Amino acid sequence: MANIENRKFIALDISGKNYLSWVLDVKLHLSAKKLRHTIDEDNATSNEHRATSLIFLRHHIDDGLKYEYLTVENPVELWQNLNDTFEHLKAVVLPKALND
């Protein structure tokens, strides 16, 4: 948990333009910290792990998104809210990426 305050990768932009790479980065980093389960629904994790994941997620999103989801206190809920907001971008970005 040391250095969790240091940003490990580019924060999620408020427009969501980097959502796909951000999702991959978050999953990889949480897996490396053995916290990946904290963003899965129906997990039984400790309050400490939940808080650590929430801090990590909030540290890696745009300030505008932080304020929009200011009252969210559960990493699963924040993860799902961000997914609901930006998942539609997968359909827009992937076809272009496949042609490259």
Q: What are 4-45's pLDDT values in tens digits?
A: 456 678 999 999 889 989 999 999 999 999 999 999 988 888
Of the ranges 55-64, 74-83, 85-94, which one carries the lowest mean pLDDT score?
Answer: 85-94
Q: What is the pTM of this model?
A: 0.79
For residue 98, the model assigns a pLDDT of 56
Which two structure tokens, joined as six digits, stand for 71? 């009252």
Do 53 and 38 form a contact (C-beta atoms < 8 A)?
Answer: yes
For residue 42, the model assigns a pLDDT of 83
Cα–Cα distance for residue pair 28/36, rounded to 1 Å? 8
